[in-house]
Every structure is written in structure tokens, then in C-alpha cells.
């Protein structure tokens, strides 16, 4: 999804990125930055080769092996929906079955919708009449006595303040409207996390710097502590980090989880996991024990 507007998962459906241009809301007096939203179309299930080729390049798989991996993943998704009425798609969103009748896709809200828009923020831009009203109310509160400040000077100061406020607004609009925003519709914002294939086994590459062996489980997470993180082919990954500095910051922010943390080295990235099991559904069912900011987990196989 970081490189294409449409990614088809054969047999499951298509994720589609929609571009939303920058816009100004008069009611909220806010200029909203451009963004992209992710939708899903369950009727587009054909194999366009895009996802298969990506797996072949990234994991070094043959075409048949990549197709088998996709088919196995789709089967896992359907089993998860059948058991728990919900299945997560990593950072992109999740699917849920409503009253057992139809399936709904719920995308996660992303602050940075695309690398193209990184650094842009929504901007409050008040209209001139609103600024003048605010200034009039402020002057009514702090207006000086007439004996000290002549009326003529009050009138001049008021006019000068209005002119300065108007110029500030025009400068702000000039910056927003003159700064080019390059939009490439081939770039999507949120990457879907695909479970690594079994052919790409990393083995138990646990680093000792995160947590020592045999620590006492923390009481805040009884289900996760009981499951443990020593055995099992599935890993509950709560964060993917780039370096030691990010790892230290993550541990500091999530101190209660530190006794449960272990780490995988996956293609140069630090994947922090807190539990392992041979039961995929069991790991997914324990998300509710995690802090809300960490419930966007992904399962590594």
C-alpha cells in the first residue's frame, strides 16, 4: 500500500487508497491537510500478480510457494472471523462480522496519511470579521482611561491592530496556497503487514538485552503471562523498531510490559513480542489485555 493505490489479496478482496485533497472548513475555520483513506472492496478477488510478485521478491519464494502462502493466510483469516468475529490487518485496520450476517472493514485512523504529506498539519485560520470581533472584546476589557490615552490614539491603535491581523491572515494563506504539495497517486500511506512465510524461518533469535530468561510474569497481564514467550510458532508482535534508541524509548513508555518483552531480528528491524503460542486465535484473543495504544498487534509465523 505504500507504493500502490490498489492491492488485491486473491480470494479475499482489494484494499483501495483514496486521495482527499486539502480543504478549508468555514464552519470550523480550519484548513485541513491532504490525506489518504483506505477502503476495501470484497468483490475484487482476482489475482493481478502484484501481491504475489512482492512476496517473491521480498521472501525469495517461488510463484507457487507465494500463492500457497496467500491461500493459507486467507484461510486463517476466515477461520479467525468464524471463531472471534474479528481479524486484524496490522496497522491498516481490521475486519469484523456484524451479527454473523455481513463483514465490515474498519480502517485505523492515521496521523500521517502518506510520506508525501509528512510534516503538514491542520491549520486554524480565522476569518477577518471574527478576528475583529475578538480584538474588540479584548479592547473592551483592557481599554485604558480617556484621561491617560487620548481617543484619537485609541482609534489609531485599533486600526493598526486590525491591519496587522489582516496582514497576518493573508501571509498565512499565502504560505498554505503557495507551498506545492506533490501528490503521487501511486503512493499509499499505510502499509499492510503480511505474515512472514514459514519458508523464511528466523529461528529463536532472542537478544538478551531486552529481558532476561525466567523473569516473574507481571500481574497486569495474566493471560499473556500465562501463555509465556518461550515456545510456539506464532509470535504476538507489539512493535517494530529501527534501533536501540527507539527500543529504549518504547521500554520506558511501556514499563509494565518490560518483563514480558522479547525481541526478533527480522531483516534488520527489531520486532518486540510479548507472547508465543501454537494457537493463532489464542494470541489474537489476548489483545484486550494490552494497553489500547498497543492493541494494533500483528502475528509473526
- Taking alpha carbons only, the member of 170, 272, 156, 266 closest to residue 211 is 272
Averaged pLDDT for residues 105-121: 67
For residue 91, being part of any structural domain is answered with no
Better-predicted residue by pLDDT, 45 or 163? 45
Share of the chain above pLDDT 70, in %: 70
Q: Answer whether residue 157 is part of any domain.
A: yes
Mean pLDDT score of the chain: 75
C-alpha–C-alpha distance, residues 250 and 273, integer Å: 12
Do 143 and 214 belong together in one domain? Answer: no
Do 205 and 169 belong together in one domain?
no
- Are residues 163 and 217 both part of a single domain? no
What is the Cβ-side half-sphere exposure of residue 176, based on CA atoms within 13 angstroms? 21
Dihedral angle at the C-alpha atoms of 167, 172, 177, 178, nearest 10 degrees?
A: 80
Q: Is residue 208 part of a domain?
A: yes
- Does residue 209 share a domain with residue 170? no
pLDDT grade for 69, boundaries at 50, 70 and 90: very high
User: What does the pLDDT look like over 252-271, one tens digit per residue?
Assistant: 988 888 988 898 887 778 88
In a domain, 7, yes or no: no
Closest by CA position to 279, among listed 80, 100, 93: 80
Instruction: Compute φ and ψ for 300, nearest 5 degrees.
Output: -100, 135
Owning domain of residue 250: 201-301
Are 181 and 117 in contact by the 8 Å Cβ rule? The answer is yes
* Grid cell digits, residue 249: 524509548
Domain check: are 287 and 240 in the same one?
yes
Domain annotation covers residue 221? yes
Q: Can you give the pLDDT at residue 3?
A: 77
**Taking a C-beta distance cutoff of 8 angstroms, is the pair 262, 229 a contact?**
yes
Domain match, 160 and 206 both: no
CA 113 to chain centre: 8
Asked if residue 215 and residue 164 are part of one domain, the reply reads no
Residues 228 and 164 reside in one and the same domain: no
C-alpha cell of 291? 494497553
Tell me how long the chain is.
Answer: 301
Nearest C-alpha neighbor of 76 from the set 181, 224, 198, 175: 198
pTM of the predicted structure, to 2 decimals: 0.41
Query: For the chain, how many structural domains are there in total?
Result: 2
Domain termination residue (choose one: 145, 178, 211): 178
Question: 274 near 229, Cβ under 8 Å?
Answer: yes
Amino acid at each position: 500500500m505504500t507504493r500502490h493505490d490498489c492491492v488485491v489479496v486473491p480470494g479475499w478482496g482489494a484494499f483501495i487508497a483514496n486521495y482527499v485533497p486539502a480543504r478549508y472548513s468555514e464552519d470550523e475555520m480550519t484548513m485541513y491537510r491532504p490525506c489518504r483513506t483506505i477502503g476495501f472492496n470484497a468483490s475484487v478477488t482476482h489475482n493481478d500478480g502484484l501481491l504475489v510478485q512482492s512476496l517473491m521478491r521480498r521472501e525469495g519464494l517461488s510463484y507457487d510457494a507465494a500463492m500457497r502462502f496467500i491461500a493459507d493466510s486467507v484461510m486463517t483469516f476466515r477461520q479467525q472471523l468464524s471463531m472471534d468475529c474479528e481479524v486484524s490487518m496490522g496497522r491498516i485496520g481490521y475486519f469484523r462480522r456484524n451479527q454473523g450476517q455481513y463483514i465490515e472493514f474498519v480502517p485505523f485512523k492515521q496521523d500521517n496519511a502518506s510520506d508525501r504529506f509528512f510534516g503538514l498539519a491542520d491549520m486554524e485560520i480565522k476569518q477577518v470579521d471574527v478576528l475583529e470581533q475578538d480584538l474588540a472584546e479584548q479592547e473592551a476589557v483592557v481599554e485604558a482611561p480617556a484621561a491617560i490615552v487620548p481617543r484619537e490614539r485609541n482609534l489609531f491603535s485599533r486600526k493598526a491592530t486590525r491591519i496587522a491581523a489582516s496582514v497576518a491572515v493573508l501571509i498565512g494563506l499565502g504560505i498554505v496556497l503557495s507551498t506545492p504539495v506533490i501528490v503521487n497517486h501511486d503512493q499509499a500511506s499505510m502499509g499492510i503487514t503480511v505474515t512472514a512465510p514459514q519458508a523464511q524461518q528466523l529461528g529463536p533469535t532472542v537478544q538478551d538485552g531486552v529481558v532476561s530468561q525466567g523473569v516473574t510474569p507481571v500481574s497486569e497481564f495474566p493471560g499473556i503471562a500465562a501463555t509465556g514467550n518461550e515456545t510456539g510458532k506464532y509470535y504476538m508482535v507489539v512493535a517494530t523498531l529501527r534501533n536501540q534508541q527507539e527500543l529504549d524509548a518504547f521500554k520506558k513508555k511501556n514499563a509494565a510490559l518490560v518483563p514480558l518483552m522479547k525481541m526478533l531480528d527480522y531483516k534488520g528491524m527489531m520486532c518486540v513480542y510479548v507472547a508465543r503460542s501454537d494457537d493463532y486465535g489464542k494470541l489474537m484473543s489476548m489483545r484486550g489485555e494490552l494497553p489500547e495504544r498497543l492493541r494494533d498487534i500483528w502475528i509473526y509465523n
